[in-house]
A and B are shown apart, each in its own frame.
Chain A
Amino acid sequence: MDYKSEIKKVSTAEFFPAVIMMKGENWRLVQICATTVENGYEMSYSFCKDYEMVTLRLDIAEDQEIASITQVYPCAYLQENEAAELFGVRIRNISPDYKDNLYRIDKETPFK
């Protein structure tokens, strides 16, 4: 039994419509991961439906702002706040936005 687990690259313009489509097709949001790469970030949003998994990969520049998906998937707030606080990804309109007070650590964040 090998179930699908693929990573799909999407552009910033395609990203939000793709998330809305996922929601329409009843995919569950399972994971959001930010990775620091040279001059920017790699954002991975994973969705599951039954036993299949699809990851939307979004490459963004360091100062590029992206929209929060909490309007579509309300449960995304913890993981989006984490990406914003620890990695410094600029995410607009997270609801609720902890404004870098999720982990409240002494060391200066985000980590570069």
Chain B
Amino acid sequence: MNKVSKSPWLLHYDASSCNGCDIEVLDCLTPKYDIERFGIINTGDPFQADILLITGGINSQTERVVRQLYSQMPEPKVVVAVGICACTGGVFKECYNIKGGIDTVIPVDVYVPGCAARPESIIDGVVRALKVLDAKQAALKDSGR
């Protein structure tokens, strides 16, 4: 019985998104979609988070913030890139201040495309991430940690 995937905590960071995906992430918490029914709680603290939800592409200022947030999270951890900008850079790919998707900086486990990603697909992405989280925890156990 795996405990972490029964109540994972989620950290949301806006790397350089247009707000569209961010308000959809927040929307997932509100009564209509209610992501809390999966035991998921939104937290502002990277030290207590299991899932990192990132929206938007990476630019020169958010690069170090994203790296830092990722390094502060405890193992096992998963990263979900929400929206097409977070996956590849999207429409902003050719902008001078965009480096590309989140995977140019940190490893991404689940990609959720869409502009803006709909709450249904964000929830689907998070639920997929839970499986990755389970697998990562099992791997940690096997390695004796």
A and B touch in the complex (CB under 8 A): yes
A interface residue numbers (CB < 8 A to B): 103-107, 111
Smallest CB separation, A90 vs chain B (Å): 22
Bound-state Cα–Cα, A107 to B61, Å: 12
In the complex, the answer to whether B96 meets A104 with C-beta atoms within 8 Å is: no
> Which residues of chain B are near A103, meaning CB under 8 Å?
97
Smallest CB separation, B140 vs chain A (Å): 36
- With A105-B59, A107-B96 given, can you name 11 additional A-B contacts, CB distance below 8 Å? A103-B97, A104-B60, A104-B61, A105-B60, A105-B61, A105-B96, A105-B97, A106-B60, A106-B97, A107-B97, A111-B96
Bound-state Cα–Cα, A74 to B61, Å: 27
Q: Count of chain B residues with Cβ under 8 Å from any Cβ of A? A: 5
> Which residues of chain B are near A104, meaning CB under 8 Å?
60-61
Interface of B is mostly: loop
B interface residue numbers (CB < 8 A to A): 59-61, 96-97
Q: Which 10 A-B pairs have the closest CB atoms?
A: A106-B60, A105-B97, A107-B96, A105-B60, A104-B61, A107-B97, A104-B60, A105-B96, A105-B59, A103-B97
Nearest residue, chain A, Cβ from B96? A107
> Which residues of chain B are near A111, meaning CB under 8 Å?
96
> Which residues of chain B are near A106, meaning CB under 8 Å?
60, 97
Bound-state Cα–Cα, A107 to B59, Å: 11
Bound-state Cα–Cα, A111 to B97, Å: 12
Nearest residue, chain B, Cβ from A109? B96
Smallest CB separation, B116 vs chain A (Å): 24
> Which residues of chain B are near A105, meaning CB under 8 Å?
59-61, 96-97
Nearest residue, chain B, Cβ from A107? B96
Smallest CB separation, B15 vs chain A (Å): 15
Bound-state Cα–Cα, A26 to B58, Å: 42
6 contacts between A and B (CB under 8 A): A104-B60, A105-B60, A105-B97, A106-B97, A107-B97, A111-B96
Smallest CB separation, B119 vs chain A (Å): 32
Interface centre among A103, A106, A111 (most CB of B within 10 A): A106
Bound-state Cα–Cα, A35 to B39, Å: 52
Smallest CB separation, A106 vs chain B (Å): 4
> Which residues of chain A are near B96, meaning CB under 8 Å?
105, 107, 111
> Which residues of chain A are near B60, meaning CB under 8 Å?
104-106
